[in-house]
Structure 1
């Protein structure tokens, strides 16, 4: 970070700590009276999900560590949690109104819930002070963080959630082509099963995985986006409608065809990736973020033969074929309670992580961004260049957990685990419908 930035922050922090003087006494940012100028450091807490050894996680943790080193006047406490654990913990502390100062959050449904609960403060003024940054996001990038005209965060990445990653060497060995139709996908699954190769590795222990990386795209292929948005709003469509039952059935049929290895509900994403890294699986489905994991951790012989495709169209479906589920990406929420010197320090960290330098660090970590910045093809891994080029012609449709209520998300995540073990599509559909209708009071 530039020295002038550090100087400006130090001045801001010092001014904030001395603000509110009355009767010759200074009050610190927590309101405690002190005899003269306060010597307390500004304090900032941040919760994030950059816990893995993927390039993105490493890059973001480095920004945090660099920030600590460059700002000894700030006491920074950072805590990392896996994605599912972070979501659960945020909702737990939200109920008690005990949010950390900064925290990774998701656009749309989560943002709206936290705004409704009066847990966030807008960042409009901060954004407006840096127009060259604010105006460089891709079109509609801020929509998922905007509520009633107020902007509550900015995306730190672009998160298409559903791609097929496949090992070309395994495909060539068994004379299988990358599937461009649903029938070709089913034929590939059959061929790999006959040759004792896992067709598609799946780690659905954290039950959001199947919903986010597979089902959201399948469902959009079948129902179309408009139907889903109406069902989510409980306005003109219901999750008990025939098209949603069909979408559930398509996923269940994948399970019945043994597309996934035995025990997929009992292993996590890391174990799923290991099956692919070890050459035991021909494919896996995951978001754009998986590219950073592959680039950083896959054996060279696997990485060099890995390619990326979107899920094929589904016969009779109403959705856009050249699309994938996803969101603009996670952002940093700012606690409503944050004020004074602590807020000044927190916003400087906010900018370090999601400003131009943070966006570049994210892109350099083989992670897509919602920000106008070009990939350096001479330096980027070929797999990430392939992903970046693919996204130029792929639309993003809503991922289910970005639009549904928290209650309905939990129901569908658990329901898909049950569905893949033989549960009834109609039963899952009714539970999702009841949960979403109940959450919206309809």
Structure 2
């Protein structure tokens, strides 16, 4: 071979090698802004659906679905156990290294992330699917609307904390009407006590229970929601106002009439659920978690007698009657650092995890969603089906500890325990007011 030809072949080979190396570079961005190869976009998603329960499996299946539908994405999905999830998020938040998509809780956590500029709106994906956006229940976006018309998450869960569960067999046996008013509730309590049946099961060892399940429902019926919102903000309302003293008085009325079993402050919520399902109590005021717990622990024979309704109305109260305390639960948020193609795909992932198909599937895993969907009755427990439709037809009012400062929430939690042991309503109200005032003072 002549030298010139040999040199030409070498040059040609070098050109092809360089072209091949250059062709492997991609301009696509990862969630953190670095380049990838082979036109792959890297996304990270964190959530706390790490268990083997049906809801966790359902949520993870939609992440898998997204991965299958998007081979151009390298998806790093981390299921972090609930107990450690908040701490993991706090750690990466402090370093401004949030995952692209992550489960965020409604309330103080999402508000803190917004204030720290760690999340960005997902409004564009909601606007791209208006039928989906408009099918959420009233108030679903309230905890995630930090600027008017800008939404930072679409909830995939709902917190419903004050449903009235009752044992219809016990009501029929003792000829008691299911109460719809406070007077009817007191009549039922007195009748069950006279017949040796605990009226209302309560496990308040962890003191959030009475606050989350009972006082919010009672107080809203007395004061109305607007008063509570103003009291939280310390703008024109205080927790020492007569209406809140009256609301605490209704709770004390339950205590004074032996509505709860003896030692309610020394047993936990799970023990109270078992006490109720075994037929020792006629009623239990509790949240959606009880639906899951009873489905897992109660027999079919026990479950057939359990019905669900709302806490009774209170006469001349400012609040509405047909309501349940609760609101939007957790939803998927988008890191403020995710941009370009990664952002586009991250929004698609959020839609996959919280769109109509996912909302229906999560609801059919016996989990409450803040979304108006029809569910297949054969896929859920009968009690859950009744509760799901009850929630859809009821108004939603605030859970106290979702809005109070951490200090004030602790005060009302412990204060309700004190009232159950004979403590002063007025003193609890004053301490609550003092604590919330401290948090509201700049």
Q: TM-score, normalised by structure 2?
A: 0.79
1:107 match: 106
CA distance in 2, matches of 1:29, 1:107: 23
Greater CA drift, 102-111 or 199-208: 102-111
Q: Match of 1:179?
A: 179
Count of residue pairs brought into register by the alignment: 416
Answer yes or no: is 1:118 the counterpart of 2:117.
yes
What pairs with 1:171-320 in structure 2 (closer than 5 Å)? 171-320=171-320
Structure 1 runs not aligned, ≥5 long: 1-16, 21-26
**Partners in 2 of 1:88 and 1:430 — Cα distance?**
33
- Match for residue 79 of structure 2? 78
Q: Secondary structure of the residue that 2:371 maps to in structure 1?
A: coil
Contact 2:255 2:420 in 1 (8 A): yes
Partners of 1:116 and 1:336 in 2: how far apart? 12
Q: Distance in 2 between matches of 1:99 and 1:412?
A: 34
Deviation at 1:168, TM superposition (A): 0.8
Per the TM alignment, residue 129 of structure 1 is displaced from its structure 2 partner at its CA by 3.7
Change (3 A) 1:28 1:68: closer
CA distance in 1, matches of 2:64, 2:153: 22
Q: What do residues 385-422 of structure 1 show as CA deviations (whole Å, max 9, x unaligned)?
A: 43344345432222223333344333323333333333
Equivalents in 2 of 1:258, 1:92: separation in Å? 46
Displacement of 1:365 in angstroms is: 2.6
Change (3 A) 1:40 1:96: same
Structure 2 vs 1, CA of residues 93 and 196 (structure 1 numbering), >3 Å: closer, same or farther? Answer: farther
* Unaligned runs of at least 5 residues, structure 2: 1-24
The secondary structure found in structure 1 opposite 2:155 is coil
- Return closer, same or farther for 1:315/1:327 CA change in 2, 3 Å cut-off: same
What do residues 277-333 of structure 1 show as CA deviations (whole Å, max 9, x unaligned)? 333332211224543444454311122111112111224433222222221443223
Q: How far has the Cα of 1:215 moved from its partner?
A: 0.9
Pairing 1:5-404 to 2, within 5 Å after superposition: 18-19=26-27, 30=32, 37=37, 42=42, 44-48=44-48, 53=53, 56-57=55-56, 59-63=58-62, 73-81=74-82, 102-149=101-148, 150-338=150-338, 346-377=346-377, 381-391=381-391, 393-404=393-404
Shift of 1:228: 1.2
1:334 aligned counterpart, secondary structure: strand
Deviates more, 1:182-191 or 1:306-315: 182-191
Task: Work out the CA distance in 1 between the residues paired with 2:104 and 2:30.
Answer: 29
Q: Secondary structure at the match of 1:137?
A: coil
Q: CA offsets, 1:103-155, max 9 Å, x none?
A: 44443554333322333222123333444433433455323311113210012
In the aligned structure 2, how far is the partner of 1:57 from the partner of 1:258? 39
- Higher alpha-carbon deviation: 70-79 or 348-357: 70-79
What is the CA deviation profile of residues 210-260 of structure 1, one whole-angstrom value per residue up to 9, with x for unaligned ones?
Answer: 222111011111212222122122111111112112212322332343322
Matched, 1:435 2:435: yes
More moved, 179-188 vs 65-74: 65-74
Q: Which has the larger radius of gyration?
A: 2
Relative to structure 2, which stretch is displaced further, 240-249 or 186-195? 186-195
State the alpha-carbon separation in 1 of the partners of residues 78 and 273 from structure 2: 31
**Contact kept in structure 1, 2:113 and 2:119, CA below 8 Å:** yes
Distance in 2 between residues matched to 1:318 and 1:281, nearest whole Å:
30
8 Å Cα contact 1:42/1:341 also seen in 2: no
Query: Partner of 1:107: helix, strand, or coil?
Result: coil
